[in-house]
Chains A and B, each alone.
Chain A
Amino acid sequence: MTRLRPIHNRVALLLAAMTVAAALALPFLGFAPNRLLSGKAIALGAVPGAGWSGAALLPVALLLAVPFLRPGRAVNALYVGAGVLAAAGLVWLAGQHAALLAAVASPAARTSFGAGFWVMEAAALLAVLDGVRRLGLGPAGRVAVGVLAAALIGGQFAAGHLDQLSIMREYANQRDVFAGAVLRHAALVAAALPPTLLIGVPLGIAAQRSAAVGRLVFPVLNVVQTIPSIALFGLLLAPLSALAAAFPGLGIGGVGPVPAVIALTLYSLLPIARNTAAGLAGVPEPVREAARGIGMTPRQIFWRVEAPLALPVFLAGLRITLVQAVGLAAVAALIGAGGLGAIMFQGLFANALDLVLLGAVPVILLAVAADAALKLASALALSRLGRTAA
Chain B
Amino acid sequence: MRRLRSLLTDRLALGLLVLAALVLGMPALKPLFAAAFPALDRPLYEADGFLALTLDHLALAGGASLIAVLLGGAAGIAVTRPFGREFRGILDAVAAMGQTFPPVAVLAVSVPVLGFGPAPALIALTLYGLLPIVENTVAGLESVPEPVREAARGMGMGPGALLWRVELPLAAPVILAGVRTAAVVNLGTAAIASTVGAKTLGLPIIVGLNGSNPAYVIQGAVIVAALAVVLDAGFDRLAARLTRWRPNAV
Binding site for B on A (CB under 8 A): 9-11, 14, 112-113, 115, 118, 126, 129-130, 133, 222-223, 226-235, 237-238, 241, 254-255, 323-324, 326-328, 330-331, 334-336, 341, 344-345, 347-349, 351, 353-354, 356-357, 359-361, 363-364, 367-368, 371
Q: Are B232 and A223 in contact (CB under 8 A)?
A: yes
Nearest Cβ distance between residue A68 and chain B, in whole angstroms?
Answer: 15
Q: What bracket does the count of chain B residues touching chain A fall in?
A: 35 or more
Residues in A neighbouring B187, C-beta threshold 8 A: 228
A113 to B113, CA, bound (A): 9
Contact partners of A328 in chain B: CB under 8 A = 102
Contacts of B103 in A (CB 8 A): 327
B-side interface residues toward A, CB under 8 Å?
A: 86-87, 89-90, 93-94, 97, 100-106, 108-109, 111-114, 116, 184, 187-189, 191-192, 195-196, 202, 205-206, 208-210, 214, 217-218, 220-222, 224-225, 228-229, 231-232
B101 contacts A228, CB within 8 Å?
Answer: no
Q: Is the interface of A mostly helix, strand, loop or mixed?
A: helix
**CA of A378 to CA of B88, assembled, Å:** 25
Contact assessment for A235 and B225 in the assembled complex, using a CB-CB cutoff below 8 Å: yes
Q: Please, how many angstroms separate the alpha-carbon atoms of A379 and B195 in the complex? A: 39
Whole-angstrom distance between the alpha carbons of A130 and B92 in the complex? 11
In the complex with contacts A230-B202, A335-B209, A326-B102 CB distance below 8 A: yes
In-complex Cβ contact of B100 among A229, A230, A335, A367 (8 A): A367
Tell me whether A228 and B188 are in contact (CB under 8 A). yes
Chain A residues near B218 (CB-CB < 8 A) = 234-235, 237-238
Query: Are B214 and A230 in touch, CB under 8 angstroms?
Result: no
Residues of A within 8 A of B195 (CB): 334, 345, 348-349
Given contacts A231-B205, A231-B220, A334-B209, contact A364 B102 (CB under 8 A): yes
Q: How distant is the Cα of A235 from the Cα of B205 in the complex, in angstroms?
A: 10
Complex Cα distance, B90 from A51, in Å, reads: 36
- A364→B222 contact, CB < 8 A: no
Rounded to whole Å, the gap between the CB of A263 and the closest CB of chain B is: 12
User: What is the CA–CA distance of A308 and B104 in the complex, to the nearest angstrom?
Assistant: 35
Do A368 and B108 contact each other (CB < 8 Å), given the known contacts A223-B232, A348-B196?
Answer: no
* CB atoms of A368 and B112 under 8 A apart: no
Q: How far is the CB of A70 from the nearest CB of chain B, in Å?
A: 16
For the complex, give the distance between the alpha carbons of A106 and B19 in Å.
55
Given contacts A223-B229, A241-B214, A360-B105, contact A230 B224 (CB under 8 A): yes
Decide: A344 and B232 in contact? CB cutoff 8 A. no
Residues of A near B108 (CB, < 8 A) are 344, 347-348, 356, 359-360
User: Cα distance A351–B218 when bound, in Å?
Assistant: 27
Q: Is the CB of B105 within 8 A of A228?
A: no
Give every chain A residue within 8 A of B202 (Cβ-Cβ).
230
A324, A330, A360: which has the most chain B beta carbons within 10 Å? A360
> In the complex, what residues of A have CB within 8 A of residue B111's CB?
348, 353, 356
Contact status B229-A231, CB under 8 Å: no
**Given A126-B94, A360-B108, A361-B109, do A227 and B225 touch, yes or no (CB 8 Å)?**
yes
Q: Separation in Å of the B179 CB from the closest CB of chain A?
A: 14
Nearest-Cβ distance from residue A40 to partner chain B, whole angstroms: 15
A254: which B residues are within 8 A, CB to CB?
214
Residues from chain A with a CB closer than 8 A to the CB of B86 are: 9-11
Smallest distance from the beta carbon of A298 to chain B beta carbons, Å?
32
Asked whether A234 and B220 contact (CB < 8 A) given A126-B90, A133-B89, A356-B111, the answer is: yes
Q: Please, which residue of chain A has its CB at the minimum distance from the CB of B92?
A: A133
Contacts of B221 in A (CB 8 A): 230-235, 237
Indicate if the CB atoms of A331 and B228 lie closer than 8 Å.
Answer: no
CB neighbours (8 Å) of A351 from chain B are 116
Flag if A235 contacts B191 (CB, 8 Å).
Answer: no
Closest to A370 in B: B100
Evaluate contact between A363 and B105: CB separation under 8 angstroms: yes
Closest residue on chain A to residue B204 by CB atoms: A234
User: Residues of A contacting B101 with CB < 8 Å?
Assistant: 364, 367-368
A–B Cβ pairs within 8 angstroms, 18 of them? A10-B87, A129-B94, A223-B229, A223-B232, A226-B229, A226-B232, A228-B189, A231-B188, A232-B225, A234-B205, A327-B103, A345-B195, A351-B116, A356-B111, A357-B109, A359-B108, A363-B102, A367-B101
B224 CB to nearest A CB, Å: 4
Q: Give the complex CA separation of A323 and B103 in angstroms.
A: 11
- Which residues in A have their C-beta under 8 angstroms from that of B205? 230-231, 234, 334
- In the complex where A238-B218, A345-B195, A348-B195 touch, is A330 in contact with B104 (Cβ < 8 A)? yes
Which A residues touch B105, using CB under 8 A? 327, 330, 344, 360-361, 363-364, 367
Question: Which A residue's beta carbon lies closest to that of B103?
Answer: A327
The 3 closest A-B pairs by CB, nearest first: A327-B102, A234-B221, A228-B188
Question: Of A222, A334, A371, which is within 8 A of B206 by CB?
Answer: A334
A237:B217 contact, CB within 8 angstroms: yes
In the complex, which of the residues B89, B97, B104, B225 contacts A231, with contact meaning CB atoms closer than 8 Å? B225
**CB closest residue in chain A, given B84:** A10
Please name all residues of chain A whose beta carbon is closer than 8 Å to the beta carbon of B225 when the two chains form the complex: 227-228, 231-232, 235
